[in-house]
Amino acid sequence: MFNNTPIISASPEIMGGTPVFAGTRVPVQTLLDYLKAGETIDDFLEGFPTVNKEQVVAFLEEAGKQLVSMVA
């Protein structure tokens, strides 16, 4: 999927291998939790300034493409 890309990385040395936004210690699950709770991307970025908007947008675009390809 997208492990160890410019968007997402996973390493046993960082957060026990939990997928995080590359270059940060912020789990991608945290973004999903924010969105599920009705928060905005800007709310997430305000709370986690080490993640940039380009990473979030790229993650959501790639996740969307992968979901569509699974169904198609």
**CATH architecture, range 8-59:** Orthogonal Bundle (1.10)
Map out the domains of the chain as residue ranges.
8-59
pLDDT 10s per residue in the chain (72 long)? 555 578 999 999 999 999 999 999 999 999 999 999 999 999 999 999 999 999 999 999 999 998 899 887
pTM, two decimal places: 0.86
Q: Tell me the C-alpha to C-alpha distance, in Å, between residue 32 and each of 24, 26, 42, 72.
A: 16, 12, 13, 23
Could you tell me if 30 and 44 are in contact, meaning their C-beta atoms sit under 8 angstroms apart?
yes
